[in-house]
Every structure is written in structure tokens, then in C-alpha cells.
Structure 1
């Protein structure tokens, strides 16, 4: 068995056994979908689409980004605090193999989240309609997972305690969710806030999934959102390589 396979299996087993992680990964964001779906039930937004066509992709985007940032952020902080990163540095298994296994797990989680959230939103009570090229959600999720994992590596590299990881991650993800329109249609926000949101990675994942699942845009719009996520991946990755630490003493 390769190191990558062993690490992926171990990470999957640990995640499945952790009920708290399962709750905050799946049930917690799903509760926002149900809540805001009930609040805006039957309403329409700009373009004549049902509000659920905006809410479901938005909450899914936030859930995916949140899971990525928190999972790798806590893992890197814990590995560095326990000196596991320094042992990995001296072992035949390169760090990229460890990160690749975490990326695979995060992508699997994102796909499960997507199936679960869309299945709930498709219930007649909420009434989501897949009017767009829904298959384009797959490359968006791949790029979104990569971008937010890179952000999570950055968070896990600068935080030394669980409390610091939670504080930094929430400081980034909660305002980003509201500014990017994850919890309500972004056309309800002032124009200057919608312009500001374009400087946030969650905007592009949210916008792209809304185009793919909600039918708001076309493949050209989705391609532009994919490009935005790719750009943020490069930026976060470059910054993370500069601040990454193998131990708390370095």
C-alpha cells in the first residue's frame, strides 16, 4: 500500500468516527439551507428565478469552503504542535503526499455535500430547479476545494492553537459568506458591496455554482468563475509557502 493510499484511508476513517466533524461538515450548513429556504420560500429575485436557486448554491459554496479551511487548518496546527510535521520532513514521505491525501478527502466531502444539499433543495417543498449546466458544478467544486484548501494551509501555518485556528477561520469565512451572497441573493446588497465581493474567493465559487445549478448564467460565466478560483489558488499557495512552518520553533 502506498503512503498516499494509507494516509487517505486513515484520514477518512478518522473523519467518519468524529461525530462533531460530521455535524459541522454536513448537518450545520444544511440547517442554513433549510432556514433560509423557509424564510425566502416562494420568493423570486432579480432575473425571475426562485430564491432557492440562489440560496442552495450559496450555502453549498460556504459549506464546502468552510470544511476545507477548518479541516486542513486544524490538521496542520495539530501536526506542527505535536512535531509530526518535522518527522514527516525527515521521512521518505514528502509533505505533498500528505497534502494530496487531504485534498482527496476534501474533494470527496465536497461531492457528498453537493449531492446532499441539492437533493434537499430539490424537494417539492423548496422547489430547486436545475435549469443550468449542472455538470459544470464538478470543475467548480474541484477548483473551489483547491483554493480553500490553500487558504486553510495558510491559516494552519500561522495559528498555533485550536482557538487561533477557529478564530482566524471564522474571521475569514463568516464575513465572506455574507458579502458573497451565500445566505441571501447578492442582488439585495448595495452595488459597492457587490463590487467588493469580487475580491473574495467565495464569490466565484458561489457565483459559478449559481450559474451551474440555478441557471443564472452560461458556460462563459462559469469559465470566468473557474479562472477566478484558479487565480486565488495560486495567490494563496504562494503566500502559504512563504509562511509555512515545520515546527512552532521555526
Structure 2
């Protein structure tokens, strides 16, 4: 269920939109209808909301003013307005939709579907991140669940030799000879693996310090699987200090 709020200074317009959302059977719960822009700022700043239906032309503060004044902008936005000339500003606020009044069912359906897709992606990523953290910090099961396009693959921490960044993905190399391509970027793996003896020798490479086979002063590291990993010049001294602790 998606929690949403409608912000419109016209009470009747807010009520009509609320009814239309219900009639179209969206998986949306309207938690509040707000007619005062100042109240809207306070509500958005103090509450976790998935989606905001926002009017633009309102007294004292416009819809854009409400967004600028809010300390929390972690939600998707659908502007619902009677004016066409605000589209560029709406895009600048990364609005997921721009629906003209009177609201057309198809236009509303398209905007809501786009918003739901974005919200579900965000929630899925957060659930995956939490699962990953729970798995890796478990005292009874030192495993990491690696998110892939198909689901998850599980490896013990001591099976991981190194991680290599590939654009927005990460290749996880294991002692079993498997290369797993994960949808998480290498920065996410660093945050999760660093407390367990892993070290970022380069912006694109994380290694398991217990799997080092050879270090050469020229700036390369040979791992247990005989792969050769470069070490960034600026990280060399810190790396040597880490080795001394093993």
C-alpha cells in the first residue's frame, strides 16, 4: 500500500481527486488532504510519505514554495494543476507526473503507474539493503546474500576473494571459481564488507586481506586465485599498515 497526501487549496478539488483515486482502484491510501500550504510544509517535513499530489497555484505559497520549504523531499510528486506553463519547473523538481485539471482518468492512471513503479523500486532496494546487512552482521551465519538480476546468491565471507566494480554493477569473485555479477555498486559492498577484513585498494577493487598471495612494490597484489589487482598509489601506505595488522 502506498501512502499519499493531496495538497490543494481548493477543498472540492482535493475531495474530487481523492474519490477518483479510490474509484480507479489504485493501491493508494490517502492519509491526509491538506488545503493550507503552511500546514503542508509542516506535514511533509515531519512525516514519511510515498507520494504527493500537489497543486501549484495556491495562496501565500505555491506548490513549488511548499517543496522548497520542506525539509523532507523523499517522496514522488505528481503535480495536479489547471495551468500548463509550469511544466519546466515541475521537471526541475523531478516530478513523476504532471496532470491537468479537470483530471483525465488516463492521464492520472499513467502518472500513478509511473509513481508506483518508482516507489516499489525504492522500497525493494531498501528491503534488499536491509536483508544484506542482516545477513552479513549475523553472528551465527557469516554469509552474504548477493543480489543479482535473478534473485540472491549466498556466499560465506571467507569464500569471497575480491570484488571488482563494473560501471554500476559489481563482480564478486569467490574461491569456488564463481564470478557473481551483482546489481549493487562497489560502494555498497565496501560499507558492508570493510568491518570483516576487506579493504578497498583501489576505487574499483575490494580485496579480502586474508586471501592475499603476493604484494609487489610496483603496485600490484596477487590474490589466492592468482588474479592480479592494482593498488592506488595514494592507498599504498595505508594498505601496508593494514597488512601489518593481519
For normalisation by structure 2, the TM-score amounts to 0.26
For normalisation by structure 1, the TM-score amounts to 0.26
Could you say which structure has the higher helix fraction?
Answer: 1
More relative contact order, 1 or 2 (CA 8 Å, 6+ apart): 1
